[in-house]
Amino acid sequence: MPRPWSSLIRTWNFKHVLVPQKGCFSSISHLKTLISVNSIRDNVSKFVVRSRTTDPFLNLAIEDHLLKTSDPNTHILFTYVNRPCVVIGRNQNPWLETNLAALKDGVPAATVEDECSRQEVLLVRRRSGGGTVFHDEGNLNYSFIVPNDKAFNRDKHAEMVVQAIQGMSLAAISPHLTKGIRVNERHDIVMPARTESGLALDEQQTVKVSGSAYKLTRGRALHHGTLLFSSPNLKSIGRYLRSPTRQFIDAKGVESVRSPVGNLSFSSELSIRTALKDEIEKSIAAIFEERYPHGKANISMVGESDIEGHAAIHAGIGELKSQEWRFLQTPAFTFTNQQLPGESFKPGTQPTSLPTSTKVVLKAKHGMIIESHISLSENQDVADAEARQARAVIQNKKLHEIKNWQQVFVGMDRWTHPSTGSLVAWLSDMFPATPG
Amino acid sequence: MKRWPVRSTVGLPHSHYYIPRIRPIDKSPLFRRKFQSGACWSAIRTQKLGDVGEGITECMLNMWFVEEGARVEEWDKLCEMQSDKAAVEISASYAGVIKKLYAQADDMVKTGAPLADIDDGLPVEEGSAAETSQEHQEDGPSHSNRDEKGEQVKIEAGAGEEGGTQRRASAEADLNDEMRSDRSLLATPAVRGLLKQHNIDISKLNGSGNEGRILTEDVQAYLENQKESPLSSSAARSTQAVESEQSETIQPLSRVQSQMFRTMTASLAIPHFLYSDEVNITRLSGLRKRLNLSRETQDTNISLLAFILKAVSVSLNQNPLLNARLDAADNLGKPQLIYRRNHNIGIAMDTPAGLFVPVVKNVGALSILDIAYEIRRLSQLGNAKKLSPAHLSGGTITVSNIGSIGGTVVAPIITEGQVAILGVGKARVAPVFGQGDLVERAEIANFSWSADHRIIDGATLARMGSMVKHFIEDPEKLMVFMR
């Protein structure tokens, strides 16, 4: 009788999964084996997974799937690199944290030929907490998925990464590049600021090289972080992460704590950057293998071809890509150009093209406008009429679905103020059309 | 069901409140014995937000995974909270139906504030319930219940004795004490179940968790102690009367000891076999004495160990397998041998700080005098506690001269990353049969080899051992082969 290729087994959370038997080899089975088999029985409880894809949605979906379905006694290290994207935290506000218009323009290309193929910078909302970061091919993401027990603490893996960096050949050859690198009290990895030529500035001034975020579930803990090893877009990061609406939005949820960032070791040669990335991955994997028990780690790669037909991961990708997840998971916020009575939030200065009588207040919950007052006129009655008309159009509309503010104001006969055009332009700047 | 005024739950440590039905609570024994009715109390448990860690006092609620009226099992996902960098999933502490959600998405919830009410639908006995609520009120201020899951109070209806008010009062007082001690020992419901299963009194255990919390490990340790004690108690009974008490002082392992603990535990995986031989070092001993008297070696004595190291190195040229390393499982899971060209021989050294094994690098390229210098340098560093990891790493085979302290045959333990080790016993004077069957005086030392039987077989090691023995017994032969 032929040996079955796979058999049905019951996993720790009582789900039944198909598990490939010995002698059957396929890459999809590898991912399933990784997460479904009772790994301790097979005497392997450490896994190092490297991603071959740069699709941020796919990488985050795989990471989430590993967190949700892995055996509770396993330790997993998952490393991946994303194509240029801005990743906001679980309950952050995309309008507040990023410059959505700048995202559409894409990353400045290195050569003129590449200008034509500029891809837009994606907007991604991850499932863990923390602030907003910019990812590109010069940024390595590491993700540790371990049991959520007494041995876990928020600094442990950041320290492992610092140890890995200091154990690299880079540290041996150019010790000034990695001298002073350490974990700070916010669980970030910082190093002393350096000048262009690599000379160290004042020891007290540090730049952030890596930031961390966590997702803790019952029994499992996920700690993932970025690592700016060699990003060519360091100077553009500020542009993407500085939103023009910042001074006008009063939001609940986690606000990003801004810090100056720096590369570990920048090189203009792509091959050197790739080699550096490989070395960092190997170094982190080596420290990971050393620190956690039960012998050698099972090393594997995962890419797009491996997850074909994997329903759970595709569902995860779908959710991460959806507008609902990216925009409607935004906590309640208020957009206002004037200080509201009873509120302590002081907005910034509106453009000079707008009259001082302008009043724009938008209250949004779950990404939907629940209350609004938009008016230009000094005359109270006219202002109320204007506001009523505008409200009728935008009330209960999803903010990200308003593609064209010009369209919103079409046909509003009460809006006779000459600065209406400026107001439309300003609103279009504040809330640009989102892709998709 | 009519709702009567609920007894106040303010200041009570527990998270229950009861919806009582009207009933005259008559405590006369006759009444209690005869009065029966169906369940009338329904326990609603309030789950509070526990400590999320990192000194965080409040979190924002991201989303609920359940809604009012939904049925949850214990450990089902309840909601996701967000605090700065961490998104934390909160699991349900009780099984039952969600009756009320205290917060909405985007609300800030403080640690210790209620999150949700869960009706577990379990009926509670009338009599005990009345006492329970009374107990709650009495015991109210004496507890700080910071256990996120709350605690199930097991009321033994042991106060069901007939008797006067006095007895009842004392029974209640006993109950009070039991519950007070019961509750002051923190343990999760799972651990309490385990205790009940094994019939262990919770007050007998010492908790090793947060704030004296009792964990499953404590229960298991207690059970193991229980298993041992029947044997030891019988043994104790049979021993003589006056015996001094065993006193124990606990001392953590020093750094060197813990390193030794780690390396030796790793070496446990290697299957050792021992090969021991007697070596006649009379001629070598004589040669050493003459050399050490001559001018060239004024500043350092050439020790026996230097000769042994060179002999081992020259023998390794003919037996390279003993200088190899076994890689038990590479990426493909197959074991492989890694042959190494340089002979880096580690010498076990007893320093004031403990056992160290510094390595003499590339012995094959050193002369015996060089080796002697190197040994002296390393032992000086060892005595000064200045040995660095660079000195201690890179060894391919080890020689342990334990004979300098004592011992004849030893069974040395192979270091991880090597496949063989040689232990040299103490030289002793013994009679041997020499030429023409004449008894003569000789100095004999035992050379004890241990090797990894996964790749070294007896014959290979015997060949190596014999070769080293020949080089030591006839140093002239060493001269012929050394480079």
> What SS3 class is residue A329?
coil
- From chain A, the residues in CB contact with B91 under 8 A are 218
Q: Give the residue on A whose Cα is nearest the Cα of B83.
A: A129
Classify each residue of B66-91 as buried b or exposed e, where b means 16 or more C-beta atoms within 10 Å of its C-beta.
beeeeebeeeeebbbbbbbbbbbbbb
Q: Do A332 and B89 touch (CB under 8 A)?
A: no
- From chain B, the residues in CB contact with A127 under 8 A are 87
Q: Do B60 and A91 touch (CB under 8 A)?
A: yes
Q: Give the residue on A whose Cα is nearest the Cα of B91.
A: A218
Q: What does chain B come to in residues?
A: 483
- What the block records as the tokens of A394 is 């935008």
Tell which wins on pLDDT, A212 or B193: A212
Give the model's pLDDT for residue A43.
59
- Please tell me the least confidently modeled range out of A12-21, A234-243, A289-298, A366-375: A12-21
Main-chain phi, psi angles of A265, to 5 degrees: -160, 100
Per-residue pLDDT of chain B (483 residues; tens, 9 = 90+): 545 554 554 554 444 444 445 555 555 554 444 444 554 456 788 888 888 777 788 888 888 988 888 888 888 888 998 887 888 889 888 888 998 899 988 888 988 899 898 888 776 544 444 333 333 333 333 333 333 333 333 333 333 333 344 444 444 444 444 444 444 556 777 777 777 778 877 777 777 776 667 777 888 888 877 776 555 444 445 555 566 788 888 888 887 888 888 888 888 888 999 999 999 999 999 998 888 888 666 677 888 999 999 999 999 999 999 999 988 766 666 788 889 999 999 999 888 888 889 999 999 999 998 899 999 999 988 888 888 888 888 899 999 988 888 888 889 999 888 999 999 999 999 999 988 889 999 999 999 999 999 999 999 999 999 999 999 999 999 888 877
Give the model's pLDDT for residue A161.
93
> What SS3 class is residue B47?
strand
Compute and round to an integer the Cα radius of gyration of chain B. Answer: 38
- From chain A, the residues in CB contact with B80 under 8 A are 90
Asked if residue A423 lies in contact with residue A358, where contact means CB atoms within 8 angstroms, the answer is: yes
Q: Exposed, middle or buried by CB within 10 Å (0-12, 13-18, 19+), for B432?
A: middle
Q: Give the residue on B whose Cα is nearest the Cα of A154.
A: B54
Q: Exposed, middle or buried by CB within 10 Å (0-12, 13-18, 19+), for B453?
A: middle
Residues B312, B320: Cα–Cα separation, whole Å: 11
| String of DSSP letters for A340-405 | PTT------PPPTTS-TT-EEEEEEETTEEEEEEEE--SSHHHHHHHHHHHHHHHTT-BGGG---H
Nearest CA to A250 out of A402, A96, A125 is that of A96
| String of DSSP letters for A10-30 | E-TTS-EEEEEPTT---HHHH
Highest mean pLDDT among A43-57, A72-86, A295-309, B290-304: A72-86
Nearest CA to A436 out of A44, A124, A2, A25 is that of A124
| Residue B82 distance to chain A (closest CA, Å) | 7
What's the whole-number mean pLDDT along residues A194-208? 71
- From chain A, the residues in CB contact with B88 under 8 A are 215-217
| Residue A285 distance to chain B (closest CA, Å) | 14
Residues of B at the A interface (Cβ-Cβ below 8 Å)? 54, 60, 62-63, 75, 77, 80, 82-89, 91, 105-106, 329, 331
pLDDT per residue over A309-354, tens digit each? 788 889 999 999 999 999 999 999 999 998 888 888 888 888 888 8
Give the model's pLDDT for residue B355.
85
Residues B183, B203: Cα–Cα separation, whole Å: 10
| Residue A337 distance to chain B (closest CA, Å) | 23
Write the CA distances from A372 to A363, A366, B100, integer angstroms: 6, 15, 31
Give the model's pLDDT for residue B241.
53
Q: Do A90 and B75 touch (CB under 8 A)?
A: no
Q: Look up the pTM and report it.
A: 0.55
- What the block records as the tokens of B198 is 């094994």
Of B84, B89, B106, nearest to A217 by CB-CB distance is B89
| Residue B208 distance to chain A (closest CA, Å) | 12
* Cβ neighbours around A10 below 10 Å, total: 11
* Cβ neighbours around B428 below 10 Å, total: 13
- From chain A, the residues in CB contact with B83 under 8 A are 129
Given this structure, which CATH class describes domain A5-327?
alpha beta
Residues B203, B300: Cα–Cα separation, whole Å: 67
3-state secondary structure A30-91: HHHHHHHCCCCCCCCCEEEEEECCCCHHHHHHHHHHHHHHCCCCCEEEEEECCCCEEEECCC
What is the pLDDT of chain B when averaged over all its residues?
Answer: 76
- Residues of B forming the active site: 453, 457
Classify each residue of A305-328 as buried b or exposed e, where b means 16 or more C-beta atoms within 10 Å of its C-beta.
ebbeebeebeebbebbbeeeebbb
Give the model's pLDDT for residue B200.
79
Confidence of residue A109 (pLDDT cuts 50, 70, 90): low
Q: Do A216 and B87 touch (CB under 8 A)?
A: yes
> What SS3 class is residue A339?
coil
Tell which wins on pLDDT, A225 or B74: A225
Of A215, A218, A332, nearest to B87 by CB-CB distance is A215
Give the model's pLDDT for residue A412.
82
| Residue A142 β-bridge partners | A79, A225
The structure tokens 């017994």 sit at B473
> What SS3 class is residue A253?
coil
- What the block records as the tokens of A343 is 């509120």
ipTM reported for the complex, 2 dp? 0.77
H or E stretch covering B96: strand B96-101
- Please tell me the least confidently modeled range out of A30-44, A143-157, B310-324: A30-44
- Residue type present at position B265: T
Q: Do B60 and A253 touch (CB under 8 A)?
A: yes
> What SS3 class is residue A198?
coil
| Residue B41 β-bridge partners | B124
- Residue type present at position B370: D
Cβ neighbours for A244, distance < 8 A, ≥ 6 positions apart: A99, A429, A430
| Residue B422 β-bridge partners | B399, B449
Residue A22 has pLDDT above 70, yes or no: no
Q: Do B84 and A127 touch (CB under 8 A)?
A: no
Q: Do B54 and A296 touch (CB under 8 A)?
A: no
Of A91, A332, A365, nearest to B82 by CB-CB distance is A91
Q: Give the residue on B whose Cα is nearest the Cα of A150.
A: B209
pLDDT per residue over B102-148, tens digit each? 998 888 898 889 989 888 877 654 444 433 333 333 333 333 333 33
| Residue A30 distance to chain B (closest CA, Å) | 14
Residue A142 has pLDDT above 60, yes or no: yes
- Please tell me the least confidently modeled range out of A26-30, A44-48, A121-125, B384-388: A26-30
Give the model's pLDDT for residue B132.
37
| String of DSSP letters for B395-428 | -SEEEE-GGGT--SS--PPPPTT-SEEEEE---E
What's the whole-number mean pLDDT along residues A395-413? 87
Q: Do B87 and A214 touch (CB under 8 A)?
A: yes
Q: What does chain A come to in residues?
A: 436
Domain ranges in chain A? 5-327, 333-430
Residues of A at the B interface (Cβ-Cβ below 8 Å)? 89-91, 127-131, 154, 187, 212-218, 252-254, 296, 299, 329, 331-332, 365-366
Give the model's pLDDT for residue B169.
43
Residues A395, B314: Cα–Cα separation, whole Å: 91
Residues A60, A226: Cα–Cα separation, whole Å: 13
Residue A274 has pLDDT above 60, yes or no: yes
Give the model's pLDDT for residue A158.
93
| Residue B273 β-bridge partners | B451
Give the model's pLDDT for residue A42.
53
Chain A contact probe: residue of B75, B85, B217 with most A CBs at under 10 A = B85
- From chain A, the residues in CB contact with B60 under 8 A are 91, 252-254, 331
Of A129, A187, A296, nearest to B87 by CB-CB distance is A129
- From chain B, the residues in CB contact with A90 under 8 A are 62, 80, 82, 87
| Residue A334 distance to chain B (closest CA, Å) | 13
Of A131, A252, A329, nearest to B60 by CB-CB distance is A252
